[in-house]
Amino acid sequence: EAKVPLAGSWRFGAFLGDAKLAVWGYDSVRTGPEQVETRPAGLSVIDTSDWTRRVIDADAWHAAVADGTLLVTYRDGGLSGFTPAGQRRYHLFQRETLGVVATFGERAFVAFDRKPVLVLEAATGDVLGTRRDVPRLLHPTFAGW
């Protein structure tokens, strides 16, 4: 039993400002004696002024926020950028396993398996450069630790 992945629900969130909260996560369900199936819970924006919820992307696996852009990654790979209102700005890197490992201002640091870290302009998805690793900054707007 101890070797089997945990079943349950996990949720994460980020404050977007203007009484809005981005929420994402996943649900793991036991499907057999030693099997757990994990499904994305998607990305939603909750307006805390009236507690309404708007689904932005039902397939979102993980999310990050960079300067007003919601950055979404998927279980099968890829990265999308959304406005807080839910408009998709771009979809990049289909089928590539990646993660948004840090954000700083309008920049996002995207890590791939065995490749350099890409530095993206979060609002447009434009590649600004590459790095061998993620910087560690002691700054209040740096999200990556």
Grouped pLDDT means (10 residues each) for the chain, 145 residues: 73 92 91 84 96 96 92 94 94 91 89 88 94 65 55
pLDDT at res. 142:
57
Q: How many whole angstroms separate alpha carbon 16 and alpha carbon 89?
A: 17
Taking the C-alpha atoms of 80, 85, 87 and 88 in order, what is their torsion angle to the nearest 10 degrees?
A: 0
Element (H, E) at 101: strand 98-104
